[in-house]
Amino acid sequence: MPVQQTATDLPPLRQSLFPAPPVAKQVPVEHVRHGETWVDPYDWLRDKDYPKVDDAEVLDYLKAENAYTDTVLGKEEDGLRASLFAELKGRVKEDDTGVPYPRGAYIYQSRFAAGQDHPTFVRRAKGEAEGSEKTILDVNELAKGKDFYDVEALEPSPDGRYLAYSFDDNGSENFTIVVKDLTSGEFVGEPIPGTSGSVVWAADNKTLFYVLKDESQRPKQVMRTVLGAKADAGTLVYEEQDPSWWVGIGESQSGRFIEIGSGTLVSSETLLIPSDNPTAKPKPVIPRRENHLYSVADQGDSLWILSNDKHLNFRLLKTPINDWSEKAWTEVMAGSDRQYLTGLLALKDWLVVFGRQDGTQQVWVLDNKGGSHTIAFPDAAFAVSGMNNEEYETGTLRVRYHSLVTPPTVFDYDLAARTLTTRKVQEIPSGYDPSLYTSERLMAPARDGTPIPVSIVYRKDVKKDGKAPMHLYGYGSYSIAMEPGFSTNRIGLLDRGFVYAIAHIRGGEEMGRPWHDAGRLTNKPNTFNDFLDVAQFLVSQGYTSPGQISIEGGSAGGTLMGAVLNMASDGMFAGAVAHVPFVDVLNTLFDDTLPLTTGDYPEWGNPNIKEIYDVMKTYSPYDNVTKRPYPPILITAGLNDYRVTYWEPAKWAAKLRVYKTDDNVLMLKTEMSAGHGGSTGRFDKLKEVALSQAFILRAHGMSK
């Protein structure tokens, strides 16, 4: 018998307390792989006309699932979801402005107005007074009447007259490039559709470079065009022939070179074109070779190179700008097990190197006289990145800094004086007192003895008596680190007594490049085992107890959720949130017509290889659903998501419903006009967070 919901009296997430959920029909399809037969009863959920999705039966099923989610968790505008949204919105400064930054002859700035979902971009000429800014792009105007709107690139021409930008209005990540004359306000030439979103100007203020995608959504062709040209009038500059390699473009910090970067997770190649000679043939810095990653930055008469040729964690090299051959290289920073180099920023008189020291982020500064130092930051564990560094001839580095207890702070660092100046600290209108919270960095022993870093934050009044609810987050793939950073969205959980933990499991890059290798290909099961071992460790340390832990992950972190739900001991988890989860691993990676499949082989492996297949079939979440109890689960998807196609979470949800032996609720929420990243508007995103948090609280038996 369904229970009437109120904000203060909400039923447990037991299926028997709600109307019956949707049931997807079963149409068995057989696949034979390495002599083994696999039956897929939900193959029909993949629209045969994909990427167009107009199959009425498929759409009706997804809509029925959305309606069921609203039945269980309440509608967006009612009850707990509405109150959580109001709480989350109360932490957002509505009339917010970014810190102004110089670029060319102008000072640029982004602004949010109260009630607006999207930013407005303004600028003023250098030397003009603050307050004289003029709007160059109002994204709110562009997004009017659209359920989804995302601006990717925003590139003024070197002389500042033109603005090239790219937009996606359906979440498919197919971006259209347009050029606006900022003098007249008129658009120039025809829009260019089907691009990856990046756009780069040559020095002549009239030549543009962009990247076209192929029919499988892979960025493949670098094109060159001129102002005012027709959309199809571009000239092919470079075409990536290997379907497992993707291509991108950029501009060097000095503005001297157009950069073409092509690569996979484990190999890369950079080609340069002089910006003042845009029709020149691209020249590779180091011709591609297997398992070699590198990046470059030009500075004066030198070219800097980060290369992992001698050590997985990279070394820093210097070579003459006119001689890139290996015999001309000089090693400046050697590769090290403790030191991981991840990025370069070359200014006229300074080189800034981003990376990690013993797992913690670090920024090294090298001057033009051979001296070096590291930047001292306030916290022991933190997240830092460069931002809005658009000038080459400058002695100031701008960074965005935050920690688990420190709100995002914009610092300007004087490279010569070695001083940090605070330019902005994120305001939290509803209030935030960092002294109420504490954070820790722990090392949890994995089952093979490897210490796994764990970042934790909680209120100081939480007791370590095993009674606290815990929310545990993980990712662990693609050499992506989950930084111990700040989130205003997390405050509500902390204030309700939660311990929030991030498991820095193998497959990411928190402990350097070998950390990634230890969680990919045939080592991929380490990722899932690490997460379970971290959860068990946190229980043993008194932070929480079995049944008091909710878990969350997205995309490849959704693979993690699916795998550990199949593996965990009964009653370990209170609930799980899986965002756009990559769960149909075998079916997807056997299908090389899908956008990401061949590019994913360095991470997961190619299942056509028997050794890879034998490991993959042990963890593929969809294929390992069994008759067993599962905790309450919330699954999200995006109908226009080409990274994790909508049918993966839909098939997984349908199969879980049939197999699970418990009385716990399972929900699937599909955004019908969004892609992999969900909504783009800042308040629409908060509605998605409110949905997840309503589920998390309910999974822990909380009603408000």
DSSP characters over 175-208: EEEEEEETTT--EEEEEEEEEEEEEEE-TTSSEE
Active site residue 579: no
The CA distance from 402 to 574, in Å, is 30
The CA distance from 476 to 510, in Å, is 9
Helix (H) or strand (E) holding 56: helix 56-73
Of 678, 674, 680, the C-alpha closest to 640 is: 674
Active site residue 555: yes
Active site residue 267: no
The CA distance from 213 to 208, in Å, is 17
Cα(first)–Cα(last) distance of the chain, in Å? 23
On the CB side of 488, CA atoms within 13 Å amount to 22
CA separation, residue 133 to residues 104, 111, 137, 424 (Å): 15, 11, 12, 19
For residue 624, the SS3 value is helix
Backbone angles phi, psi at 522, to 5 degrees: -70, -10
Catalytic residue among 555, 620, 679, 692: 555
Strand order across the 106-111 sheet: 101-103, 106-111, 120-125, 134-138
The CA distance from 533 to 540, in Å, is 10
Neighbours of 75 (CB within 10 A): 12
Does residue 51 have a cis peptide bond before it, meaning omega lies within 30 degrees of 0? Answer: yes
Spatial CB neighbours of 502, under 8 Å, sequence gap ≥ 6: 454, 455, 456, 472, 473, 474, 482, 484
Of 361, 309, 315, 354, the C-alpha closest to 335 is: 315
Catalytic residue among 471, 676, 679, 692: 676
Residue 20 tokens read as: 């019956």
Owner of token pair 């099961």: 525
* Total residue length of the chain: 704
CA separation, residue 104 to residues 126, 306, 587 (Å): 9, 28, 50
CA separation, residue 220 to residues 194, 261, 532 (Å): 11, 11, 39
Catalogue the active-site residues: 555, 641, 676
